[in-house]
Amino acid sequence: MFSISRSFIVLTIIHNIMEKSIKIFLYICLSFFVISCVSNKDKHVEKIPDTEENTEEKHLDRKEIFQLVEQIITEVAEDAAQEGLTPKKESVPEEKQKTETVNAITKSLKKMKNTQQIADFIEKNYSEKFEIPYETFSASLDLPDSNLLPFGALVFESYRLAYPYKNMKVYEKDGDWCIELEDMIFAWADGRILPFKKRVEASQYGKQMIYPNFGKPRNPKEYTPEDLIELRKKGTKDYLAEEKPVDLSFTQFLFQTNDRIETERNIRSMTFLGHRLNIHKMVLPFFEKIDNEIRALAKTDKEIASFIANISEIGGYNWRVIDGTAGRRSYHSYGMAVDILVKNNKKPIYWEWVRTWNSKWMLLPQSSLWLPPESVIKIFEKYGFVWGGTWDEYDTMHFEYRPELAILAYLSIVDEE
Q: Please check the confidence at residue 411 and state whether its pLDDT lies above 90.
A: no
Strand-pair partners of 329? 321
Question: Per the domain annotation, does 303 fall within a domain?
Answer: yes
Pairing relationship of beta strands 311-315 and 337-342 according to DSSP bridges: antiparallel
Q: 193: closest CA among 161, 221, 156?
A: 156
State whether 274 and 192 are in the same domain: no
The pLDDT tens digits for 199-225 are 999 999 999 999 999 888 999 999 999
Per-residue pLDDT, 250: 96
The pLDDT tens digits for 270-289 are 999 999 999 999 999 999 99
Question: Per the domain annotation, does 236 fall within a domain?
Answer: no
State whether 309 and 382 are in the same domain: yes
| Domain harbouring 318, CATH code | 3.30.1380
Domain that holds residue 352: 260-401
Domain count within the chain: 2
Question: Per the domain annotation, does 40 fall within a domain?
Answer: no
State whether 203 and 326 are in the same domain: no
Encode 29-62: b = buried (16+ Cβ within 10 Å), e = exposed. eeeeeeeeeeeeeeeeeeeeeeeeeeeeeeeeee
Interatomic CA distance for residues 164 and 161, integer angstroms? 5
State whether 286 and 390 are in the same domain: yes
The pLDDT tens digits for 273-329 are 999 999 999 999 999 999 999 999 999 999 999 999 999 999 999 987 766 565 678
